[in-house]
Structure 1
Amino acid sequence: VVTSQLSSILLKVKPTSLKPLIDVNSRRKNWNPIPIPFRTIPEPRGQDLDFVNVSHSHLVHSDWNKLNALSIHVTPFRVKHVLLKIQKDHVLSLEFFNWVKTRNPTSHSLETHSVILHILTKNQKFKSAESVLRSLLVSGSLELPAKMFDVMLYSYRICDSSPRVFDLLFKTYAHAKKFRNATDAFSRMKDYGFFPTIKSCNAYLSSLLDLHRVDIALGFYREMQRCRLSPNVYTFNIVIHAFCKSGKLDKAMQVLREMEIMGFTPTVVSYNTLIAGCCNKGLMSLAMKLKSSMGKGGVHPNVVTFNTLINGFCKEGKLHEANKVFNEMKALNLAPTIVTYNTLINGYSQVGKSEMSNRLYEDMLKNGVKADILTYNALILGLCKEGKTKKAAYLVKELDKDNLAPNASTFSALISGQCVRKNSDRAFQLYKTMIRSGFHPIENTYSMLISTLCKNEDFDGAVQVLNDMIDRSVVPDSGTLFELHKGLSRCAKNQLAIILCKKLEDRHLMPKGFDKSKIISSQPENEDKTS
């Protein structure tokens, strides 16, 4: 049902039947902005005035040696007035600002920072201004960001500034992942009739998605719509990504169509994002339709497109289809990357087809693609799933030649190989080596190892592994736990089984579906009768 609905959106909906999210021709709402306040500042007098005039003279004549002699007399009030006096020369202003920062950093204040930010943005030196603001945010107190807008607002008219100074503040908060401050800045900007550039809005949306704050990102996008902020291609791509991350593929598809209605051409990134969204939901048929539709819009699939599709088919266990996509990729003279090969090799290895994995590995080397640890881990896993542990051990030795070191996945694959062969002693040795090397298994590897140890009646080893799991707060599988407790009961170690249950309960690690009453009530002789 979902696939048919999405297909209709993709293939059947006419552009005229969709209402665009934003009308770029409509005028922005009448916000009735608050007038920008005009605040006078006290003029320098007496020694302050002398300092400002002398400093100005030294700066104009680039006489830094004489200026250095005045550094001990610098105050925030004097710095602010010197900056105001030389503000028409943004280069000299920044040089003086940095000189104060080096010579007498305590003489800087929020006001001196505000003035230099006005000077730099008015002269379109945005990178320098952002650098100043970033340094301030990093070194300042937690209260500083909240105060910065007001300080900049009150010095706005004195510096005859540009609205871009507030855009700078909003964008810098976004880049610094200070989302609450960015939201507050955006709200305050609206109050005074200022709006951020679309580039800054995109930076904010992108930063939110980086931290998986999809809800806030989409909420901000709706606020952009209300403010009639015209999006660009990057905005649409970010929104498509946001909808895909939240699993709302129908909404993501709609945004693609709205792009076209508004005169934007979807890019390869637009399509790749949607294809990835379909693959994540297992909608491979729809993902392939999207790829086919790319050419109609003059967009050609790239390596990322094919890698995404190959990964999607491999995750679904459809290796024949993944291989077809791989062959199509090569037919289009798109060179497979390490990601392409690793995805396919891992896909075949997961289902125990090590021969096919090895063929891909040879093809990879022939095409000059250098193997990495992921390649070797996938190959080792494939061999271990088939119990070919000697060949796997040979590959481990090959790691040294490529200056690679085994990692947690390498050890887990090797342990699984010994478990397949029911060689619990070797599996346990590898486990201990893994721990000594600073790595730890995942829950599946723990379960496989405990099960193999139990089958070989090495219950002491199994208990040790379970205790390690408890120490690392890993919840055991209920089936594995039952197998261990049943074995302990058979060996007249019911008390140990009860102690283990108590430890798991105390650490809130008892797996769902595990009935401890059967273990506690069972007796060894009862087990003997039933066995």
Structure 2
Amino acid sequence: MRLFQANLFLRLDGVLSKTARARPSPPPAAVALKATTFPTSRGALCSKASSPAMAAALGARKFAIISRRLSVGGAAEDEAVVAEAVAVLSEQRRRSRWGFLKAVVGGKGLTSEQAGKIITRLKNKPRLALRFFHWSEASSLCLHDLSSYAPMAHVLARGRLRRAAVSLLRAAVSREEDAAPDSVLAALLESYRACDSTPLVLDLLVRACVQARQLDHAMRVVRQLRARAVSPAGATCNELVRASCGASGAAAGLAVYGELFGGDSPMPASPDVQTFNSLLLALHREGRVQEEDADRILREMERRGCRPDCFTFCVRMAGLCAGGRVAAAEALFAEMAAVGIKPDAAAYNTLIGSLCLAGEIARAEELFRRMATAGVAATAASYEQLIAGHSAAGDATAALGLYEEMSRRGLRPEPSAVARLVGALCEKKRVTDGLGVLRKEMERTAGGLLLPCREMFVSVIEGLCDEGRMQEALELQAEMAAQGLAPDPQICRAFLHGYLRQGDAATADKLFDEMRTRSLTPPQEPDQDRWMNDTQAQRF
């Protein structure tokens, strides 16, 4: 152990001797002590450490020197600690630098101000500075506050490490102490020149507030920046508008837009098509895409010279279709192609779904074929819309064909679409086909998080009971329970009717008693007395 300690300080002596030339001169007594105690060259030091005992003694005396240096205090000693730490980080190898740094810091650790100075001097090595920041916190050597957070954010912004800078600023604005973004902004402005920073760091602070869901704070920071003739980038303004729409609705998004891009706003950033798309999407989610606000947004979009893109047309088409104006949506689809915008899969799917809901399956199929001709690859949503439309129209054969084609292409439908297909097959007395689809979905989702939905099991169990295949229905119900889906009154009613059709009144009677115990008594049906005797009918 002594030999290891001596070797550690032998290696450390080379680093400290280099930094000694860059530090202010120590007091004469310290100089004399150093000159008489330790040689400056590694070779001379190693020649004196010719035995383990002597090496241990040299290491112990070296440790005393370092401890004395760190315990003196004062501005000069603070500068010495910072200089030594920077030298270790810059000159030592990656694996050994952290052990040396612990020896330099000692048991006292670092203050956040010292850490901030070290980070500032590493401003041209942002990744190393970030490793030091996290290492000092993980090693419990520094309790960081805004004195170190602000320089670290500046260094990351200078190095264009945007994601790391936003993550750091999010942590800063979310801290229990100094949580107000005003304090973070003040710290950034105070250390701006010392870090030779870039305005990007202020833009990233706004993004950090948005991602931390502190939208009011984000707007307050924007106002303070605007008072200093600094403005966030257009993408950051778009993110703020989008977040306001998502959090508080279209009205809040329009208010934020007016403040950021209004006529009396000194912001040099200009809105783009993404800005207006966010507002239109918020109106669509509220069912207001065809109201006056939407028209005002479209006029503002034209006044600003923003050319609508495919997403703009998709949102407007979706609003028309939601209002039942499918013909107007088709006209808008044609207009999109006329102005030179190629419809994407979302545009086709919007119109295909609307035609299917309107019962115009043939026109939906035609549009689906046009989609393939235009070179636009069909998505899972394309098939799901058609499967749902054919299932609702009672064409189980066409729906099953689309499902199989979808599977061959490696596309996986949503459980709701498969449930419609299974229901349509069972209604057409094709219970075996419905059971096959259910089995396929169960195999596909084995071990996954997305399991077949309850409606699939209910449809197949009802179909099996109607055909008198009670044993298969019981086995399927057991598999359903294994998936965590408990039986409900609809399933119990299907079993009751199945047993009564077979004349097994005793089993039906036991099942009914169990249903009543579990509060699963099914609702009455007008024709249930066809399958029950008079006594059993009275019990319902």
Note whether the superposition's TM-score is higher than 0.5.
yes
Corresponding position of 2:40: none
Corresponding position of 2:364: 322
Q: Which has the larger radius of gyration?
A: 2
1:158 Cα deviation from its structure 2 partner: 4.9
**Aligned pair count?**
439
Q: Equivalent of 2:272, from 216, 227, 232?
A: 232
Q: Which amino acid aligns with 1:240?
A: L
Go from structure 1 to structure 2 and tell me whether the alpha carbon gap of 1:417 and 1:177 turns closer, same or farther (over 3 Å shift).
farther
Measure the CA separation in 2 of the matches of 1:137 and 1:180: 13
Answer yes or no: is 1:245 the counterpart of 2:285: yes
Percent identity of the aligned residues? 23
The residue correspondences of 1:422-501 to structure 2 (distance < 5 A) are 433-439=479-485
Go from structure 1 to structure 2 and tell me whether the alpha carbon gap of 1:290 and 1:117 turns closer, same or farther (over 3 Å shift).
same
Q: Equivalent of 1:48, from 78, 81, 96?
A: 78
Go from structure 1 to structure 2 and tell me whether the alpha carbon gap of 1:145 and 1:164 turns closer, same or farther (over 3 Å shift).
same
Corresponding position of 1:127: 163
Measure the CA separation in 1 of the matches of 2:114 and 2:145: 11
Measure the CA separation in 2 of the matches of 1:469 and 1:114: 62
Deviations 1:311-337, CA, capped at 9 Å, x for gaps? 222233332332232232233243323
Answer yes or no: is 1:393 the counterpart of 2:435: yes
| Structure 1 unaligned blocks of 5 or more | 1-42, 471-475, 498-531
Measure the CA separation in 1 of the matches of 2:119 and 2:432: 74
Q: Residue 271 of structure 2 aligns to a residue in which SS?
A: coil
Measure the CA separation in 2 of the matches of 1:370 and 1:92: 45
Go from structure 1 to structure 2 and tell me whether the alpha carbon gap of 1:337 and 1:93 turns closer, same or farther (over 3 Å shift).
closer
Corresponding position of 1:526: none
1:59 Cα deviation from its structure 2 partner: 4.1
Go from structure 1 to structure 2 and tell me whether the alpha carbon gap of 1:431 and 1:97 turns closer, same or farther (over 3 Å shift).
same
1:199 Cα deviation from its structure 2 partner: 0.9
Greater alpha carbon shift after TM alignment, 453-462 vs 126-135:
453-462
Go from structure 1 to structure 2 and tell me whether the alpha carbon gap of 1:415 and 1:76 turns closer, same or farther (over 3 Å shift).
same
Contact 1:80-1:112 within 8 A present in 2 as well: yes
Corresponding position of 1:185: 221
Go from structure 1 to structure 2 and tell me whether the alpha carbon gap of 1:57 and 1:362 turns closer, same or farther (over 3 Å shift).
closer
Answer yes or no: is 1:348 the counterpart of 2:390: yes
Corresponding position of 1:506: none
Measure the CA separation in 2 of the matches of 1:454 and 1:221: 61
Measure the CA separation in 2 of the matches of 1:142 and 1:468: 53
1:86 Cα deviation from its structure 2 partner: 4.5
Contact 1:427-1:449 within 8 A present in 2 as well: no
1:364 Cα deviation from its structure 2 partner: 4.4
Corresponding position of 2:179: 144
Answer yes or no: is 1:291 the counterpart of 2:339: no
What is the TM-score with the length of structure 1 in the denominator?
A: 0.68
Corresponding position of 1:13: none
Answer yes or no: is 1:117 the counterpart of 2:153: yes
Q: Over the residues paired in the alignment, what is the CA RMSD in angstroms?
A: 4.2
The residue correspondences of 1:246-285 to structure 2 (distance < 5 A) are 246-250=286-290, 251-285=293-327
| Structure 2 unaligned blocks of 5 or more | 1-72
Go from structure 1 to structure 2 and tell me whether the alpha carbon gap of 1:321 and 1:194 turns closer, same or farther (over 3 Å shift).
same
Measure the CA separation in 2 of the matches of 1:197 and 1:469: 61
Contact 2:419-2:455 within 8 A present in 1 as well: yes
Q: Which amino acid aligns with 1:173?
A: C
Go from structure 1 to structure 2 and tell me whether the alpha carbon gap of 1:53 and 1:329 turns closer, same or farther (over 3 Å shift).
closer
Q: Equivalent of 2:454, from 375, 384, 408?
A: 408
Q: Equivalent of 2:202, from 162, 166, 184?
A: 166
1:289 Cα deviation from its structure 2 partner: 1.4
Measure the CA separation in 1 of the matches of 2:299 and 2:318: 17
Q: Residue 45 of structure 1 aligns to a residue in which SS?
A: helix
1:432 Cα deviation from its structure 2 partner: 6.1
